[in-house]
Amino acid sequence: MIVDLPETTTAKVQKALVKIREEGGAVALGRVLTLIIATQDGFEEDAIEAANDASREHPMRVIVISLDADAPEARLDAQIRVGGDAGASEVIVLHAKGGTATDPQGLVMGLLLPDAPVAVWWPGAAPEVPGRSPLGRIAQRRITDASTQPDPQVAVHALEGRYTPGDTDFAWTRLTLWRAQLAAVLDQPPYEPVTRVEVVGAIDSPSTTLLAAWLGMRLGAEVELVLTPVEEGSHGIRGVVLHRSTGPIELLRDVPSVARLRQPGQPEHDVALPRRNLRDCLADELRRLDPDELYGEVLVDGLPLCHPEGTAA
């Protein structure tokens, strides 16, 4: 069910939600959090689709807010989606224009689920310091995506200076499978120290830079970060080589979903390493709403050592 509310107020939106709940049987029971999606007008649907898919794992209320403070007329248009149009969530879409768009926190406060945590996701442009923004101040979790910025490498290095506990970025979330696979490899004999690390990826992949920072911080080894020009079909992380005295361990992804694992004295293996979509990344981040301390450590202690020009020591 979709209900349009043109030229409305947040109080009227809340009343409409109650009415829909009473007449249609849609309930808020079992909702575990409120997810606020701050996006640009016209770019809401991909984010809503990802949130609807993630809501099957995390039932929630989704508030999508787009702001146009430069519009000459001050008005608020809203839309409520429930049932089959909202997955396992309630979706409230707010289009604020003119003077109405100057107070995003005030627009959403009356629509938050009571006694439930709040997460904010900026699928595109994010505030310079998310933790100090109007929406960021009311959230336990703040999610950005450096890969959507005009220069992803500049964006990922800017994360260090603006980090506040509770922040995270999908560039980090996309590393989960890579980190798990590399940790599993190093958890096998002969348990030798890694003396040097090579990380290769496309120039538009901020995840490649964070992976190099994490490996350098955790292994205490020299890291060579190589960022290559983007070619068709070659986005993202391309491979990692861990050098040890008995020979290198190579995890190389030549195709989008499968990587080849080569280790001294062992046969070559194919490992599933698909690129994670928005739904997977969002669901992963909503599994825990406390600060990701490891992510903060990588930004503070590991990222300053990694430079997009090529190498890191």
Place of tokens 């640009």: 40
pLDDT for position 196: 96
Sheet holding 237-244, edge to edge: 222-228, 196-202, 237-244, 247-252, 258-262, 269-272
Does residue 241 contact residue 198 with C-beta atoms inside 8 Å?
yes
pLDDT for position 308: 53
Nearest to 249 by CA among 194, 171, 302, 311: 194
Sheet holding 60-68, edge to edge: 2-5, 75-81, 90-97, 60-68, 33-39, 118-121, 141-144, 167-169
pLDDT for position 313: 36
Q: How far apart are CA 285 and CA 172, in angstroms?
A: 10
Residues of the chain with pLDDT under 50: 310-313
Q: Is 310 left (phi over 0), alpha (psi -120 to 50) or beta?
A: left
pLDDT for position 26: 53
Q: How far apart are CA 58 and CA 282, in angstroms?
A: 10
Nearest to 5 by CA among 74, 72, 76, 101: 76
Q: How far apart are CA 95 and CA 80, in angstroms?
A: 12
Q: How far apart are CA 34 and CA 234, in angstroms?
A: 36
Helices in 88-162 by DSSP H: which ranges?
104-109, 152-162
Half-sphere exposure (Cβ direction) of 89: Cα atoms closer than 13 Å: 28
CATH superfamily of 176-305: Dihydrodipicolinate Reductase; domain 2 (3.30.360.10)
pLDDT for position 307: 60
